[in-house]
Amino acid sequence: MSFTGLEFSKPVKSLAEGYNHDGADRKLAKSINMSWCHAAGAMYSTAQDMAKFDAAS
């Protein structure tokens, strides 16, 4: 699993970005420091890594 991990404070290259929608426009969401989230939101993975995990369990 090469593309799975925890994001703490340094942005992860090629990570999807979120957007906010105010009813008229979509704007890139501000990034937040994930160091306080831990497993509640700091985890990231790809579909391929998740499939490897599933096959191993």
What pLDDT score does 17 carry?
78
What pLDDT score does 3 carry?
86
Whole-structure pTM over 0.85, yes or no? no
- pLDDT tens per residue across span 3-52: 888 776 666 677 777 888 888 899 988 877 766 766 667 788 899 999 99
- The H or E element spanning position 50 is helix 47-56
Distances (CA, A) of 9 to 23, 37, 54: 30, 11, 28
